[in-house]
Chains A and B, each alone.
Chain A
Amino acid sequence: MRAYQDMVFSTAVRLTANPAQAEDISQEVFLRAYESFDNLRSSPKAGGWLKTVCTNLTLNHLTRHRKRWRLFSEVFSDDTRDEELESATAVFDTVFAELETDERSALIGQALERLPDHQRIPLVLYHYEEMPYQDIADRLGISLAKVKTDILRGRVAMAALLAPSGFGAPAARRRAPSPNPGAQP
């Protein structure tokens, strides 16, 4: 358990942005692993099994509250402007150029946690879990177009959250979303 607990907790907390919920989910993952201990004990795929179960349990947990964030996902259309994309790219360029890895990781982690659910969840599934757009759409029960829009807007919003730290152009700052009410500091 000690070998995998950080990985399992990270998977849950990145999706939920809530350490207390992530701890509950991690506990359930390891209880299920205990029930399947005979099969997992000597399996080289134990880590993958734990990650998959953790992702599924977390998404099940989040789906219970889906109506709250799905509404936002379905209401807004993709109105991301070209200059916002350019500005967001500039922000990340600057972050990579000017910050050391540790400092950069801390800032990026904070920005990710502050994203609203409907942007953070597909973004995490795409970049961390490497799920294709269609799989994310199927899993979350939203359209393919909205998945792409939410991920794009999530990236721009992350840049906007980094902008107050002194990176990037003013256009990114204008798009800063309100902090996620579900996230804990």
Chain B
Amino acid sequence: MSSRDQFDEKLERLVGQALREQPPRRAPASLEARVLVEIAARARLPWWRRGIASWPAAVRAPVIAGCAVCVPLVWIASVWLATRLVSVVRHPGNTGPLASVRDTGRAIASLGTLAIHIGQSIPREWLLGGLIATATLYAALFALVALGYSLLYPRTEYSKAQLT
């Protein structure tokens, strides 16, 4: 072992010993009061302003289910819209209310056909891209909800002045 290594090792031991013998720092007297005030403030909040984990189960389940079906609905709506646009472009005169119902029926029917042939006709790269797009949509939805929540209900900061 070189002299540098010896000094390095000894210095590590001495610094470690010096730091470990440091007594704990006394917490400020205001800390306990701050925590209690914040707990009381959070307890006064209505359930819909708390974290989703503390929401009533009867509310939480539909919200989660709603978010879960949100992305498939966006896909379906996108396909319907694309089909409708194609229909309008190809048959510009055929745009009455019955035509809309017919086109919607055809779009839903084509979705079934699409699902059957999706594994055969779409390249795997496209499927992967679709999965990534779906995950991105879910992430965007989550970020949007989190951003909206933080903007609408910013956290309350309690200063020492408020406690005295």
Contacts and interface: CB of A to CB of B under 8 A. Distances in A.
Size bracket, chain B contacts: 20 to 34
Given A2-B32, A82-B4, A96 B18 contact: yes
Given A10-B24, A108-B18, 18 more contacts: A6-B25, A7-B24, A8-B27, A9-B27, A13-B25, A27-B38, A31-B35, A85-B7, A86-B7, A88-B7, A88-B11, A92-B14, A101-B21, A104-B21, A152-B8, A155-B11, A156-B11, A158-B15
A85 B20 contact: no
Contacts, number: 94
Contact of B19 (A82, A96, A112, A152): A112
Interface of A: 1-2, 5-10, 13-14, 19, 23, 26-27, 30-31, 34, 82, 85-86, 88-89, 92-93, 95-96, 101, 104-105, 108-109, 112, 123-124, 127-128, 152, 155-156, 158-159
Contacts of A92: 11, 14-15, 18
In terms of DSSP, what is the predominant structure of the interface of chain B? Answer: helix
A95 B4 CA distance: 21
B38 A31 contact: yes
B55 to A, nearest CB: 14
Given A6-B27, A85-B4, A89-B14, A27 B34 contact: yes
Main secondary structure of the interface of A (DSSP, over half): helix
A156 to B, nearest CB: 8
Contacts of B4: 82, 85
B164 interface: no
Nearest to B18: A108
Contacts of B121: none
